[in-house]
Structure 1
C-alpha cells in the first residue's frame, strides 16, 4: 500500500497553529496573577486598617488611665497602694525608735554590769614654749639714753649747725655729745639731727598753707647720712596753716620704715585755725590739735613691731592752764596742756625752746624749764621727759650754758638740741 506523502513544511504549519494557543494561555495566566495581586493588596490594606484601629484604641485607653487614677490597671493600682503603706509603716517605726531611744538607753545602762574601775596612766604633756609678746620697750632710746642733736633747716646756716650733712658737722656733734656722756655715763649718748622738713613760710604758697616740704633728694641725703653714721633723725614739722594730720601722714612712712627716724612738732609755727601767719603772728594751739599726732605715733610700735618712738613737742612760750583766757595767743602757746594724751607707746618730750642772748637769760631759761617741764610733769602726769635747746651764736653774747649746767636742771633733760 502506498503511504501518503508527508509535506515538507508540516512543522511550520504546526507552529503557526500552536502560537494562538500559547498567547491565550499567557493572557489567562496574566489575568490570574493580576487578580491574585489585587487580592493581596486588599488584604494588606485591611490588615493595616485593623492595626491602626487597634493602636487608636490602646492610646485612648492609656489616655483615660493617665487622666484618672480610678481607671488604672488593677495590678498598678495595688502596687502603688502597697508601696505607700510600706513607706508609712517605715516612717512610724523610725519615729517610734527616736522617741523611745532614750528610754531604752537608760534601761540598758541600768541593767548592764559596770566594768571595774581601773587607774589609767596619763602621759604628761610636753611643755610648750610661751610665745614672747611684743615689747615696744626693747630697743627704745628713752629713758636709758640721752640724745644730743644738731638742729637746722636744710641749707639755712643761720638756723643751726646741721644745715649741711658733712663730716665736719659730724665731728663737732661727736665732741658735744662726748661731754654729756662723760658727765653722766649712766645715760650713753645717742647723736642725732633735728631737721625741719616742713618749713614755715611768710607767704601762702601754691597750696595756701604757708609752708612747704623739703625736696625728696634732700630727704634722701639726710637719711643716708644718718644711716651711715648711726645718727637719729627727727623730722621736725613747722606746718603753718596746713592740715595737721595731712602733714603728719606725709612723713609717718619714714618712721615706719627707718628705726632711727622720729618726729618733732613745733606749735610756734602752727596755725590750725588759720588765725595767723608764721613769723608774723603768735600761735595758740590746743590739745585737740596735738593729740592726733601723739595717737598716730603711739600706734606705730604695735602695728609694725618697732621700738617705741620719740615725739618732741617744742615749747617756746607758756601754757594757758590757770589763765582766764587760755586761748589768747599773746598769753599762751598751748591752751590746755593738761589735756595732752599720755601713752606708754610713745615717748613725748616737752622741749623748752626759748631763746637767750640777753642779760639774765640763763636764769630765765632755768625758770621756764622748771615750770614747763618739772612742774607740769608733776601736775599733769601726761608726759615724763624734758628737753632743752641751746643757741650757739645767739646765746654766745651772754655765755652758753655748759653741759654741766644743763644737766643740773630738774629733771635732767634727756634730749638736748643745738641751734645757731
Structure 2
C-alpha cells in the first residue's frame, strides 16, 4: 500500500473528473461524493456518447443482415470482443464469450462445464469470501448432481489461508473457484499460485475477476486459470455487459447453455448442429449498444493507463484507511497486505443501514448491507457492513468530506 503522505504528482484527477458527467451532481443539496464504485462505476462521456451514437447512426441487429447498418453493428460488436480479448491478453478472440456479466458467466460454467461432469461424491471448492455469484450456481448444480460445495477459510485480516485452500484440492474436487479481488474486503488473492496447484492436480480453476479488471491489468495467460469472468458495469461500461474467457479445449467440449438463434449452424427436427465457440454460447440478440460502450470504456482505461490508476487508487486507499482509523469505535473489516481500494467498516453500536441513510443525506454514497456475501458476514459475526469503494476519479477532498459526514453521523447515533 502506498504511503498515505506521498501523493502522486503526475495524475491530473480534476481533468479526469471532467470526463464523468454524473460526478457534477448534487444530492440532497450537497455535492455528490460517490464511493460505491464496487457496486457500479460511473461512466465517462466517451462511453455515453458511444452508446448514443450507436443508436443514432448504426442501430441494427448483428450477424443477421448484409445491409450496411447490419454490417456496421456486427463490426462494432465483434470489435468489442477483439478489444476485450486484448485487454485481458486472451490467446484467441474465439475464447471470449460475451455475456451480461459475471453472474451469467459463472452460471454458464456451472451448467455447461461442471454439471455434466459432476457425480455423487464429487465437490466444488470455493472460498468464504466469495460473492454469491460464485457460490449459489455451484450449490444449484451440486444439488442436481449429488455433489457438494466446500469453502476454504480466511483469517481475521481477510486473507485467504492459501495452504488450506491447496490442502482442500483433494481428488473429489472437479472444479475450483476463487475471486481475484474480494468485493467486500478488497483482498487480492494469489491466483497464479492457486492456478499452479490446480494444474498439478488436473483441476480446472474459475476466477471471478469482477473487482480486479477495474483496478489492475489482467493477463489470463500469465494467471494460468481455466475460466475468467468479467462484469462490464464495474469497469466504466454499461450494465448488462461482461465476458467469460475460457480455454479453447473446454469451450469445444462444453454443450450450449442457452438455445435459440445465432448459436446454431443448422436446425432440423432431426437434430441441430451448433456454431463454433464463442457463438455456440451466445443465443439471441445481444446487448449490442452495451458492448459498443464497453469497447469505449476499454479505450478510456488505456488512455489513462493502469500504472497511473493503480498509484492513485492505492494512495487514496492508504489515506482513507488512515482517516478511518482515527475515528473511535470504528472497526475495519479486512486489512490484507495486498488490497484494491475497497474498505468495509462499522461504527460500534450503529446499524449499517442507518449510517448509509444518514451519509446519503450528506451527499455521500456508500453501500450498506451484506454485499452479496452472507458467508463472509457470518465469518465476521455481523449482519452487514458499510463499504466505501474508490475509483481513480475520486479525490482526497472527497475522502475528507466523507470523514466529516461520518463524524456527524457518529455524533447523531452515539
TM-score calculated relative to the size of structure 2: 0.23
Radius of gyration: which is bigger?
1
Q: Which has the higher contact order (CA 8 A, sep 6+)?
A: 2
TM-score calculated relative to the size of structure 1: 0.23
